[in-house]
Amino acid sequence: MRILIINGPNLNLLGRREPGIYGTQTFEAYLGTLRQKYPDVVIDYFQSNHEGDIIDRIHEAGFGADICDGIILNAGAYTHTSIAIHDAIKAVPIPTIEVHISNVHTREEFRHHSFISPVAHGIVIGFGIDGYRLALEGLLKMLAR
Ligand code: DQA
């Protein structure tokens, strides 16, 4: 099984960015523990602050040289703005799970709408950084069905 985690803009700053909201752990450290916990799963990781690069990576995971079984996506602020990422998720024949570290629904109103949710196969919101593990477990179960 090969799963791709994609983090969008500003998520390269995890551990340093607004720690009261996003925690103090870097994603790289967290990813290490996740890979140790799931040694049989290949977990690819891609972070970008650029919308088009995220779209290209989704295409590669779905059709290209870097084919994966599923995607775990935290599109960051693009969640609330990007019809293009919505279309990319819809275009590929593999499931995407949407993740948000914070509970976006208890925050500013502009975070309440997601362009990703209508095309996501599952959504994990508000469990902190551990939401990626919850998403992975759900995605693996979904793929085993
Ligand atoms: C986020 C929530 C978004 O609203 C925000 O723009 C982010 C992170 C989260 O993981 O809680 O960058 O996706």
Query: By the 8 A CB rule, do 124 and 97 touch?
Result: yes
Say how far apart CA 87 and CA 115 lie, in whole Å. 9
What would be the CATH architecture of the domain defined by 2-144? 3-Layer(aba) Sandwich (3.40)
Beta strand extents in 14-129 (DSSP E only)? 42-47, 70-74, 96-100, 122-125
Kindly state the average pLDDT of the residues 102-106.
Answer: 98
Does the C-beta of 122 come closer than 6 Å to ligand 1?
A: no
Q: Dump pLDDT digits (tens) for 55-95.
A: 999 999 999 888 999 999 999 999 999 999 999 999 999 99
The pLDDT, as a whole number, for residue 64 is: 85
CA dihedral sign, ordered 97, 119, 49, 143: positive
Active site residues: 22, 100
Q: Would you say residue 96 has pLDDT above 90?
A: yes
* Nearest atom within ligand 1 for CA of residue 125: 11
Residue of the CA atom closest to atom 13 of ligand 1: 76
Distance 31 CA to ligand 1 centre (A): 18
Q: Is 119 in the pocket of ligand 1 (CB under 6 A)?
A: no
